[in-house]
Chain A
Amino acid sequence: MTDWNALSDDEFRAEVRGFFEAEYPEELRHLPHRPKFAEIQHWHVKLHAKGWVAPAWPTEFGGMGLEAAKLLIYYEEQQRYGVNRGRDMGIQMVGPLIIKFGTQEQKDHWLPRILTCENIWCQGYSEPGAGSDLANLRTSAAIDGDDFVINGQKTWTTMAHDATHIFMLVRTNQNTERKQQGISFILAQMDQPGVEVRTITTLAGETEFCEVFFDDARTPRANLVGEIDKGWSMAKALLSFERIFIGNPGLAQNALAQLETFAKGRGAFDDAVFRDRFAEVALDVEDHAALYSRFADQLKRGETLGADVSMLKIWVTETYQRITELMIDVAGPDGSTLGPLQIGNIGVDVLASFYKARPSTIYGGSNEIQRNILSKAVLGL
């Protein structure tokens, strides 16, 4: 088995880039929506055969065993080439959770099924009353013999209508001092009488998010991961790498490239006002990338990232939005037209980009929550 970490960064980048460019299906590049598994299954088969489904997992569990710096490169290349992440909740969230906190039985049973996508996972965190204030969640799991009985509602559950399983944070103890206590991490099957999924139609007209209702749904007690009532700290432990990745320059860089293509096609670079606004966002992207490499270098030196890494997410998502807004301005009277606008033989879907950028300041901890965190943890206010 190849020890990817032994390669230099440049060698590894070339390896990843070469594989994506040779093998990733052209028609799936830069998909504007989240695909159902069936749409990308042929790609998943190739990825699985290569052994690259789980870049972050240790090799003993079938992963690539990448260190943080290499992992960052893998994701940077994935984003650059427009490689869809696939149905990766199992890979990104459930697998690491089970590897870190699960029993041997749980590892043996679940991990291989995640890699093959025999089980497709969705994430049951948010609830109608628990968004930014996630610890406010109310969905309960009560012990009944060998089972948990689940009641309540999850929402913003991405692609729940195309998932076989859900991993969720549930309240297993109502009588705790702090609401962060008494929360547990459990796994459950979607296809059962007590689970109902309804899709949510977004502003973009997509149905990628769902509401999931639990009415006496059941899951075996063996599907509790880690200790009962201790799920909150486990969920937080999973987020450390995500905190830099969510602030990576990829989305903004791709949008900027799209804006440049579109603006050239429309002759916008002849306009002094556009030129200034373009230079402004382009420099916002370039200068953000400089700060991002400073944090990435910290990771490469094996240092732990502090709370200040959230600065990246705030800056890049807000820049990303400004870029897509500028694209709408360039479109002028076509700025409300759905679907690709033709620039020569290239189609640029201005509104799809605009819509895609909107939730970026909301998900992964809204930018307002990130500012609260920075204010307390970094500025000491």
Chain B
Amino acid sequence: MSTEHEEDLRLLRDSVSTLLDRAGGVARARRVRDEGKGRDNDVWRELAEAGVLGVATPENAGGLGMGLSAAGVIAEEVGRVIAPEPVVPTLAMAIGLLHRTCPDVPVLAALIAGETTLAVAWQERDLRGVSETIDCRFVGGKLTGSKDWIMGHADGAPLLVIAKMDDGLALVQVAGDAKGVTAKSARQSDGSAQYSISFAATPASVLAEGPLVAAALSEAVADATALTAAELLGLSGAALELTLEYIKTREQFDKPIGSFQVIQHRAVDMKIMQEIAEAAVREALTVMDNAATPLVRLRQASRAKARACTAAQQITRESIQLHGAVGYTDEFDVGLLLNRALVLSAWLGDAAYHRRRWLEIRDTEEAAQ
């Protein structure tokens, strides 16, 4: 990596972290959750003005073309203050799909400018969990089927939907109040809403179709997976920092609990876990940026998510333990981090899922040699 690129990343990190801290840091996440708003529109606009949403979009599609490493820096900062806005779903899924399939549609520019948001509905549920196939059909301009685990959606907002056609997949756009749309939302551990939406002969407009949609979906999901790992990395770093501060100040038996060796060793293990995760996630993003085949990109995305989920879960859970009883109260911020880690771990596959996929890809690569 060139030092010039490193310097760009440092400047980007500074500006995003300043913006998010000024907006209220972790306290803002609590406020947004308590107000039940889902997001803060002023912050969303500021993020867009800072160029955050188009950071990984090529310049010829209206973005900054800085790659996934830059998007990773943003995701880390978003994770550090557990910003409730759907930065990664918008940047990697909605924008990522559009710039790969139909870079000229006006809605792409509107998304990058923060004037609108579009959640992407692509996963479907079967008895065992996430279905391997897409059954939602798009025929004669009408959409029929149902979608699950839709992140970053709001009641009545428009959506992007991946649907099956006779010959391959289509990317279509649906108005939130269109005929035949039934939306159900479930409250997540962090207070956010996740949607399940079904369509019954719902009118939709096609943005892209053909083999490039499947390829773009796979790429966008890989990006979103790796960037969610970066978001988790920022989150676990914040949990570690809060906990270190706490054990240095909380006194029992007339001394800071951080002076006890058992606490010290556990804190060291959290620190090592965090550093390993940071090195792994950043390396994965760099490899993904430097071309690599689709298979390598998928493997790196799985590697990043497997590590980041493991680290964030261990660190946030250990953080609660080291805070003692107050860690179990809603009043302390460390709990917000644990609750957000649950959401980000569950989305797009947890550690066990990604370890499995990482090994399958490795097997495939080996067989091809």
Contact = CB atoms under 8 A, between A and B. Distances in A.
Interface stretch (B15-23, B179-187, B265-273): B265-273
Nearest to A294: B279
22 contacts: A276-B352, A276-B355, A279-B306, A279-B359, A282-B359, A286-B303, A287-B277, A290-B282, A290-B283, A291-B275, A291-B278, A291-B279, A293-B283, A294-B279, A315-B272, A371-B265, A372-B264, A378-B268, A380-B244, A381-B259, A381-B263, A381-B264
A280 B359 CA distance: 10
A283 B358 CA distance: 9
A202 B352 CA distance: 38
Contacts of B358: 279, 283
A379 interface: yes
Contacts of B282: 290
Contacts of A275: 356, 359
Interface of A: 275-276, 278-280, 282-283, 286-288, 290-291, 293-294, 308, 311, 314-315, 368, 371-372, 374-375, 378-381
**Interface size range of chain B in the complex:** 20 to 34
Given A275-B356, A283-B307, A379-B268, 12 more contacts: A275-B359, A279-B306, A287-B279, A290-B280, A290-B282, A291-B280, A371-B268, A371-B269, A372-B261, A372-B264, A375-B261, A379-B264
Nearest to A291: B279
Contacts of B283: 290, 293
Contacts of B261: 372, 375
Interface in B317-369: 352, 355-356, 358-359
Contacts of B275: 291, 308, 311
A311 B280 contact: no
Contacts of B119: none
B276 A371 contact: no
A280 B307 CA distance: 9
Contacts of A286: 280, 303
A283 B355 contact: yes
B264 A375 contact: yes
Among B263, B272, B355, which residue has the most Cβ atoms of chain A within 10 A? Answer: B272
A291 B278 CA distance: 8
Contact of B265 (A288, A315, A368): A368
Q: Shortest 7 CB-CB distances between A and B: which pairs? A: A287-B280, A375-B264, A291-B279, A290-B279, A279-B355, A290-B283, A381-B258
Interface string B273-306: 0011111101100000000000000000001001
Nearest to A314: B272
A381 B307 contact: no
A282 B363 CA distance: 13
A279 B360 CA distance: 10
B75 to A, nearest CB: 18
Given A287-B276, A291-B276, A372-B261, A379 B267 contact: yes
B248 interface: yes
Contacts of A380: 244, 248
Contacts of A314: 268, 272
Contacts of B150: none
B16 to A, nearest CB: 22
